[in-house]
A = this chain, B = another copy of it.
Amino acid sequence: MPDNPELASEYSAFRDGLVDADFLVRSDIDGLYGRTDKFEDIIEGIDRLVVELGSDQNAKVLRFPPVMPTTVFEKTDYLASFPDLTGSIHTFTGNDKAHAQLLQVHSDGGDWTDLLDPSGEMLIPAACHPTYPLLTGTLPEGGRKLDVYGYCFRHEPSIDPTRMQAFRMHEYVYVGTPEGALAHREQWAPRGLKLLTDLGMTPEKVVANDPFFGRAGRMLAVNQRDGELKYELVVQTYPGQMTAVVSVNYHEDHFGKPFNIKSADGAVAHSSCVGFGMERIALALLATHGLDTAIWPESVRELIYP
């Protein structure tokens, strides 16, 4: 999804404001930012609320580094759906002589990264992906719930700070029966709405509109829309633009099948998840209440800085 050109000046004004007010630091690449403690304090405040919401889930806590095996990635539909967003990790595997050549290409100003070899590792595109290989086999009665939080990567350079290339997602995942998966999603949509409303925002729940790639992608997008498999909770971040900050997804057997996960009754497991886009919620708060957090509504301040 390209940036909306009509909002370009809004995007850059918000971004520059965030930098000037010491929330983010820029890099040479659009969508890659450093975070200051002022920004991280907001993230931590939001996360405290997310964890509170999830405290009744009895979810297994798992934290992953930003990298997972390519074999896991290959079992998902991601390459078909979002090839342009993927991040594959490549490294140098040659000998001394090849190293000398690599350094020569670099010092001649050539693209030395093109001479590297795939490491068999990918950046994680969605927090829950590395969990599914751990569930291969038959699940206990009632299924499993997981609490996953970590950095995700999506290669979509943008001047809009709400579209970062590297960002954190906190997910509660359910894997089990179709009914359980749907119930998990139905449980979390109102919780997400409540969290955003408590934070003084005006969220709406809409059918998701993911940026599936190309011709094949257009079909997948129609499937997703018509099946109402994914909803997003959106809030206004720019005049006339709503930004998705939370998503609730019903995966059907999209993960259960390739990862060979069965529910207790022996059927292919279905799954669902809620994903809180941590940076996006923080940025939506700043867009809604302004860059001076000292004058945010007291009720919001009490939740974020308890």
A: residues with CB less than 8 A from B are 25, 27-29, 32-37, 39-40, 60-72, 74, 79-80, 83-93, 95-96, 99-100, 102-103, 106, 111-114, 116-121, 123, 130-131, 133-134, 151, 153, 155, 164-167, 213-216
Please tell me how many copies of the chain the complex holds.
Answer: 2
Shortest 6 CB-CB distances between A and B: which pairs? A65-B166, A37-B61, A83-B92, A113-B118, A96-B214, A66-B66
Contact of A79 among B93, B102, B117 (CB under 8 A): B102
Of all chain B residues, the one with the shortest Cβ separation from A103 is B80
Of all chain B residues, the one with the shortest Cβ separation from A80 is B103
Rounded to whole Å, the gap between the CB of A111 and the closest CB of chain B is 6
In the complex, what residues of B have CB within 8 A of residue A72's CB?
27-28
Of all chain B residues, the one with the shortest Cβ separation from A112 is B79
A89, B92: Cβ atoms under 8 Å? Answer: no
Of all chain B residues, the one with the shortest Cβ separation from A114 is B118
**What are 8 A-B pairs at a CB distance below 8 A?**
A27-B130, A28-B69, A32-B65, A36-B60, A65-B167, A83-B91, A114-B118, A151-B151
B119, A66: Cβ atoms under 8 Å? Answer: no
Of all chain B residues, the one with the shortest Cβ separation from A38 is B61
B166, A66: Cβ atoms under 8 Å? Answer: yes
